[in-house]
Structure 1
Amino acid sequence: MKHTPLQQYLYSVPPEKINPVMAAWLANLSLVQSVSPTVASAIVQELTDQRRFLKLIASENYCSPATQSAMSNLLTDKYAEGIPAQRFYEGCDNVDTIEAYAARQACALFNAEHAYVQPHSGADANMVAYWAILTARVETPGLTKLGENNPAALSREQWEQIRSALNNQRLLGMDYYSGGHLTHGYRRNLSAKMFDAWSYSVNRETGLIDYDEVARMARELKPLILLAGYSAYPRKINFAKMREIADSCGAVLMVDMAHFAGLVAGKVFTGDEDPVAHAHIVTSTTHKTLRGPRGGIVLCKKEFAEFVDKGCPLVLGGPLPHVMAAKAVAFTEANTDSFRAYAARIVENARFLADALQRRGYVIATGGTDNHLMLVNVSASCGLTGAQAAGALRRCGITLNFNSLPYDPHGPLITSGLRIGTPAVTTLGMGKDEMEEIAEIIDLTLKQTRPAIL
């Protein structure tokens, strides 16, 4: 009789030495294998790959077994449109308990006034935030002016008046090539089609945000939303200064902290560098530095709470209760001293690695890093494009991504740079010595790589 992987494990290990994490993983895998060996095989291969390759992708991490387990259960079978105690379906009592708990944990973790934990991703969270701001600052005042609070009761002409106002608002965010995200007004993204989108860039000489230039643009453009945050900017942002700029032109300050949420939760970014303390509304993913499941959240001041809570039906469909459960577990894990120590080590490792690469002659954007990532100019350092360098490193066991640099002469599918992050290797317990070794491996690989035309 052929035994399942779980049975093989349980038969081969003394009862007192059985690891519940291993047992749970094998039980799950055995069930999948009984239906689809192809899927089970791919899961095992992913485990093999993640063990074999060094993960330096700045947006990836390793979530805990408890977080993974919270996603793998019958909560996925529940529809729960609405919010706790205000659902469109009966039988959501347990989902209410989980979602309310997750929201409380998020508020406690980030010292936020309100949390909405339903978004399926960071991009979804940004859409919820955008439309919450539009609803609060444009649609609702427009309805009030018309003496109505129900859009369905408006005439066609009145509704077109509201739609016209909604579709002509300005967004001012960080340029994609300066480190901003696709959802911050990139023209191939929905955000640039929703808004009259404008971008501020980093200073060409320093690579840093020029707050005086942002202020000048904000005064001139008078955007509805001033957006801060990044996916590839290696320095801290002064959010107190950004709020001052937003207030000066009547804008809503929105921050996308998807990449550095774990550094906020871990109290590495505090005071002027804490976005939750200064922004009207903050969005994030729940993975990356926060080390939770793939998903999103929106945090906001009380004035936007009722509008954010209408993410469904505004932008989202039904929430994913099993993922909200995993978010709740991850938020609970993050609100600990051990996580705060982990967050501090992420930044220490990034600085160690950036310094080690600089000592080997690599050009690092802005001359270093204050957060979890660094940008390496491989075109200037070793005559390779970002795509060539990333491919060579993957073949040598390192996984990262090629990335555009400020004012990059190459397009986004070629690039001049690499983005390197330390959240995942820090989770594995690596420190200064390992960062030195990683820098040596990167240097050895890239200096032995030559571009070729095939």
Structure 2
Amino acid sequence: MSDPAATATVAYQAILQLVQGVEPRIAEAITAELHDQRHSLKLIASENYASLPALLGMGTWLSDKYAEGTIGHRFYAGCQNIDTVESVAAEHARALFGAEYAYVQPHSGIDANLVAYWAILSHFVETPALKTLGAKTVNDLDQADWDKLRHDLGNQRLMGMSLDAGGHLTHGFRHNISGKMFDQRSYGTDPLTGLIDYEAIRKQALEFSPLILVAGYSAYPRRIDFAKMREIADEAGAVLMVDMSHFAGLVAGKVFTGDENPVPFAQVVTTTTHKSLRGPRGGMVLATSEFADDVDRGCPMVLGGPLGHMMAGKAIALAEARQPSFQTYAQQVADNAKALADGLLKRGATLVTGGTDNHIVLLDVAGSFGLTGRQAEGALLDSGIVTNRNSIPHDPNGAWYTSGIRLGTPALTTRGFSADDMDRVAELIVQALRATTPTTTSQGTPGKAKYTIGDGVADATKAAADELLGHHPLYPGLEL
């Protein structure tokens, strides 16, 4: 059997040679990105490394085919191969998550959430309204009926986790389309512990009566009891929608089971495919059979032509996630996050909720080091550690500068990092941030973006990070 890395080397060298002949700057950027990723401690919780087969599956002529519609019901001829690709991806998704229905067309997480929102609106608002008005589609309505329907669709209520508590932009943030589509309210976390307060959510939901109750997070370092969330949704007469984009890999890998697995409890579940699931950048919707027809209207309701090459990458990644080795990987992701949190705590850092039991660690850099998130993010990048600044509950610095840094372990776990390695990573983070000092603006006032790092610390930290990375090469054997 041929060596996969050697085969990939030949493939990528040929690809880059072809690209070089057309636009050398793009070939250079592709090569530089691999170098940068190989020599950086990637701790962005929403990023990972797709496998070489998944990456190569995306770089094909499946990109050249339009295929609006659904499997076997396309608006273009000649879609039989796209039908195969989409069918295989959906088959793996259903089997992996135990879902009744899977829709793999969304191009991103926000697309998946938009499909889900409009599917629920269609199921509970548009379809009943059309039947009442004696119309089959909105095209059959007169202007007055259409105006009423449009008002009804835009007057529904949604309740999701607030951005500073760890929710996502698409969970009703006012400046996001989700916050403009709905009459929206946000729920937060306990001000003392930073943990979800289910009784507070229950009281708010009963008072607000949302059509959709959204659970899930982007920067919450704990697990959720989805059985309780479903009880709250049922009591409030709401649909429970779960966005598991961040922790889908922990569900697929059987780290989150029982009440911590959203699929048995939520009517609609959305996810990206590239975070802890370790696939290509894209989205996906899982649903009960009740909502299958509504979700299938994602195109043309929200989406344009599905991306056949990306669905191929999803199919490959989902097939990989069904292998027993993925469960070992997922458990290591959680173990590594705990090791990272423990390593930071024992070195005096302050963490939101005091730790983690998923893949996310939320570091309060304002409380720990007197820095804004933007300063800490920059100082860590200078030191070979890639993170992203993130709001923390009741953040005084707002969503741009922030007071926190979000850390995640899926990517480094893919590279083979152990719990001991993560303790060393925690040491390097603290080393870099303790040597970082905020600087003043030209007017002499405290700045929120500028900083200085003690002499030689960034270079020393970067060298130590590179040594650690050398023990866990990215795409070993791939030579460009």
Q: What TM-score comes out, normalization by structure 2 length?
A: 0.91
Deviation string, structure 1 residues 224-249 (Cα, Å, up to 9, x no partner): 00000000000000001000000001
Secondary structure of the structure 1 residue equivalent to 2:16: helix
Aligned to 2:405: 418
The aligned counterpart of 2:199 is 212
Q: Which residue identity is paired with 1:328? A: A
Q: Cα offset for 1:99?
A: 0.3
Pick the aligned partner of 1:67 from 40, 54, 59. Answer: 54
Residue of structure 1 in register with 2:291 after alignment: 304
Letter in 1 for 2:249: G
Cα offset for 1:16? 8.1
In the other structure, the counterpart of 2:208 is 221
Partner of residue 347 from structure 1, selected from 308, 325, 334: 334
Aligned to 2:221: 234
Q: Does residue 315 of structure 1 match 2:311? A: no
Cα displacement string for residues 254-313 of structure 1 (whole angstroms, at most 9, x for unaligned residues): 000000000011011111010111000000000000000000000000110001001001
Equivalent residues, number: 440
Aligned to 1:190: 177
Identity of aligned residues (%): 58
1:58 is matched with 45
Q: Of the candidates 123, 133, 138, which is equivalent to residue 125 of structure 2? A: 138
Aligned to 1:115: 102
Hey, what does 2:455 align to over in structure 1? none
Cα distance in 1, alignment partners of residues 199 and 61 from structure 2: 52
1:203 to 175, 179, 190: 190
User: Which segments of 5 or more consecutive residues in structure 1 lack a partner in the other structure?
Assistant: 1-14
Shift in Å, 1:148: 2.1
Aligned to 2:264, the other structure's residue is in SS state: helix
Q: State the Cα distance separating 1:158 from its structure 2 match.
A: 1.2
Task: Quote the Cα distance in structure 1 between the aligned partners of 2:73 and 2:18.
Answer: 35
Where 1:177 maps in the other structure, the secondary structure is coil
1:85 to 68, 72, 77: 72
1:148 and 2:135 matched: yes
Give deviations 1:355-387, integer Å, cap 9, x for gaps.
Answer: 010000000111110100110111111111111
The answer for the alignment partner of 1:10 in structure 2 is: none
**Whole-angstrom distance in 2 between the partners of 1:330 and 1:85:** 23
* C-alpha separation in 1, matches of 2:312 and 2:328: 24
Find the partner of 1:46 among 30, 33, 48. Answer: 33
Amino acid at match of 1:160: D
SS of residue matched to 2:233:
helix
Instruction: Give the one of 152, 162, 177 matched to 1:175.
Output: 162
Equivalent residue, structure 2, for 1:282: 269
Counterpart Cα distance in 2 of 1:444 and 1:164: 55
2:124 corresponds to 1:124 = no
Instruction: Give the equivalent residue in structure 2 for 1:4.
Output: none
Counterparts of 2:374 and 2:154, CA distance in 1: 37
Deviation at 1:122, TM superposition (A): 0.2
Residues 123-182 of structure 1 deviation map (CA, whole Å, 9 limit, x = unaligned)? 000000000000000000111111222221111111111111101000000000000000
Moved more, 384-393 or 354-363: 384-393
Counterpart of 2:468? none
Distance 2:65 2:3 in 1: 37
Question: C-alpha separation between the residues in 2 aligned to 1:92 and 1:169?
Answer: 37
Say which of 324, 338, 344 aligns to 1:357: 344
C-alpha displacement at 1:24, in angstroms?
1.2
> Are 1:449 and 2:436 an aligned pair?
yes
Amino acid at match of 1:392: A
1:390-422 CA-to-partner distances (Å, cap 9, x unmatched) read: 110100100001110001111111111110000
Q: Distance between the aligned counterparts of 1:18 and 1:286, measured in 2?
A: 24
